[in-house]
């Protein structure tokens, strides 16, 4: 069995598109069970839409609920959607919910794609009513695009309420990223953090980090990266990014290529810009003590092996961005502050348990998710939530 220099079995790191062999499973008490759980010889199921140019990737059948984002672009690829669905399934697993992850893709903008959203709404409406697919807003999709489907969504409507320019759902992601960062670093008071992909919910992440005592000293967007010796004014920075000013980044420091952020000498880097952005090339330059995903599937399997060898903690994305999950599963009345507290408490508890595992927090969290999945699925699906 092949192993990296960090002692991890390479098969443990295989992502969704590379099958995993059978291996001893973790039982729900966190102990090894010598009886291996069988893994399903199948991929994430693709439900092709009949009246719209699109699809829904659905990870597991027979789930109580199936939830996932909807993305729209000129062409949305099924591979990325499958990866995102699997990551969300593992997120539900660590929260011990019999839910399945999903991800929908709509292809087309402009001429020739008129009526795409309306066709999607019509076809998906019955699925929302039955809980077969509950959609969330992804790239290229607005709240208005999903508005006709919201009344039938059983999740608390509070998740989409706005507070200080952000939806509560985005705010909860920010708080869970901060909680995962705090768990990795033993607290955030005075810790220096850079935010990769600030234009992907970076304000929510930055606010939560600062509220927990962290100092934001670097950030990147698709246009480049900046680093400062002093604390970055996150509100001014966020406002500059949406102002349309071509020199927005330059107003806050010397602008370097976006990938230079991985070389920042900070305590932690949150990562969000795109799937697989933290690859083996980026990992070679990481000086931070922890990599904390602020979006799904941002770390590759090869990068994880390299970062473990360098004693860099890599937190599981399906935990660090799972802040909304307790709210999604809540029944009855709840207020925003209670939802925030639940996001922080559950993320902290799961990360603390995963950090204690000898294989590191990401694999430790995978084992926890798989233990629960094995309690209600006859077989486990192939592949863990790592970018290929």
Q: Give tens-digit pLDDT for 78-99.
A: 999 999 999 999 999 999 999 9
CATH code: domain of residue 317: 3.40.50.720
CATH code: domain of residue 121: 3.40.50.10860
Check residue 7 and give its pLDDT.
47
Cβ proximity of 179 and 347 under 8 Å: yes
Contacts of 259 (CB under 8 A, 6+ apart): 220, 225, 281, 282
Check residue 339 and give its pLDDT.
97
Exposed / middle / buried, residue 196 (Cβ in 10 Å: 0-12, 13-18, 19+) = buried
Q: Give tens-digit pLDDT for 8-24.
A: 544 555 555 444 333 33
Check residue 30 and give its pLDDT.
43
Q: Are residues 326 and 177 in the same domain?
A: yes
Q: Give the residue-averaged pLDDT of 356-379.
A: 95
Cβ proximity of 331 and 117 under 8 Å: no
Whether 41 shows a pLDDT value over 80: the answer reads no
Q: Are residues 126 and 55 in the same domain?
A: yes
Check residue 112 and give its pLDDT.
80
Give percent of the chain above pLDDT 90: 82
Check residue 115 and give its pLDDT.
92
Whether 26 shows a pLDDT value over 80: the answer reads no
Check residue 332 and give its pLDDT.
85
Residue 259 three-state SS:
helix
Domain count, the chain: 2
Question: Residue 120 — pLDDT band, cuts 50, 70, 90?
Answer: very high
Q: Are residues 345 and 373 in the same domain?
A: no
Range of the domain at 83: 26-154+362-388
Sign of CA dihedral 264, 266, 267, 273: negative
Give percent of the chain above pLDDT 70: 89
Whether 301 shows a pLDDT value over 80: the answer reads yes
Check residue 222 and give its pLDDT.
93
Check residue 362 and give its pLDDT.
97
Q: Give tens-digit pLDDT for 51-65.
A: 899 999 999 989 999
Check residue 34 and give its pLDDT.
30
Q: Are residues 215 and 336 in the same domain?
A: yes
* Distance, C-alpha 226 to centroid of its chain: 24
Average pLDDT of the chain is 90
Q: Are residues 38 and 150 in the same domain?
A: yes
Query: Residue 227 pairs with which residues in a beta bridge?
Result: 218
Check residue 338 and give its pLDDT.
97
Q: Are residues 305 and 200 in the same domain?
A: yes
Q: Are residues 121 and 203 in the same domain?
A: no
| Per-residue tokens: 37 | 């759980």
Cβ proximity of 386 and 299 under 8 Å: yes
Q: Are residues 175 and 317 in the same domain?
A: yes
Q: Are residues 369 and 346 in the same domain?
A: no
DSSP per-residue string spanning 336-356: HHHHHHHHHHHHHHHHHHHHT
Whether 178 shows a pLDDT value over 50: the answer reads yes
How far from 310 is each of 4, 258, 263, 380, CA to CA, in Å? 12, 22, 14, 31
The answer to whether residue 85 is domain-embedded is: yes
Cβ proximity of 145 and 288 under 8 Å: no
Q: Give tens-digit pLDDT for 210-243.
A: 999 999 999 999 999 999 999 999 999 999 999 9
The answer to whether residue 293 is domain-embedded is: yes
Pairing of strands 134-137, 162-163: unpaired
Q: Are residues 254 and 110 in the same domain?
A: no
Q: Give the residue-averaged pLDDT of 288-295.
A: 98
The answer to whether residue 278 is domain-embedded is: yes
Check residue 17 and give its pLDDT.
45
């Amino acid at each position: 069995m092949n192993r990296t220099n960090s002692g991890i079995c390479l098969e443990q790191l295989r992502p969704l598109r590379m099958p995993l062999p059978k291996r001893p499973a973790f039982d729900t008490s966190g102990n090894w069970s010598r009886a291996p759980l069988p893994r399903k010889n199948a991929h994430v199921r693709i439900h092709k839409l009949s009246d719209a140019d699109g699809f829904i990737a659905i990870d597991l059948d027979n789930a109580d609920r199936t939830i996932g984002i909807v993305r729209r672009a000129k062409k949305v690829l099924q591979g990325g959607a499958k990866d995102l669905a699997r990551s969300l399934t593992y997120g539900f697993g660590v929260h011990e919910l019999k839910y399945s992850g999903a991800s929908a893709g709509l292809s087309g903008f402009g001429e020739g794609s008129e009526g795409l959203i309306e066709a999607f709404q019509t076809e998906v409406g019955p699925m929302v009513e039955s809980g077969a697919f509950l959609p969330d807003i992804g790239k290229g999709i607005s709240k208005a695009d999903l508005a006709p489907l919201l009344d039938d969504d059983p999740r608390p409507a509070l998740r989409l309420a706005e507070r200080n320019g952000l939806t509560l759902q985005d705010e909860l992601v920010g708080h869970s990223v901060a909680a995962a960062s705090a768990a990795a670093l033993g607290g955030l008071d005075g810790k220096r953090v850079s935010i990769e992909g600030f234009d992907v919910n970076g304000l929510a992440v930055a606010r939560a980090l600062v509220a927990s005592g962290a100092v934001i000293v670097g950030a990147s967007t698709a246009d480049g990266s900046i680093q400062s010796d002093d604390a970055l004014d996150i509100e001014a920075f966020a406002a500059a990014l949406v102002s349309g000013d071509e020199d927005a980044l330059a107003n806050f420091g010397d602008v370097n290529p976006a990938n230079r952020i991985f070389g920042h000498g900070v305590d932690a880097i949150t990562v969000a810009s795109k799937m697989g952005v933290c690859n083996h090339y980026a990992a070679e330059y990481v000086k931070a003590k922890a990599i904390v995903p602020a979006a799904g599937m941002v770390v590759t399997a090869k990068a994880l092996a390299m970062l473990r060898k360098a004693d860099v903690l890599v937190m599981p994305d399906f935990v660090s961005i799972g802040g909304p999950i307790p709210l999604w599963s809540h029944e009855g009345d709840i207020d925003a502050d209670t939802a925030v507290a639940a996001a922080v408490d559950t993320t902290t508890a799961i990360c603390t348990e995963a950090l204690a595992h000898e294989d590191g927090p990401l694999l430790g969290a995978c084992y926890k998710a798989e233990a629960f999945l094995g309690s209600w699925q006859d077989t486990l699906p192939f592949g863990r939530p790592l970018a290929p």
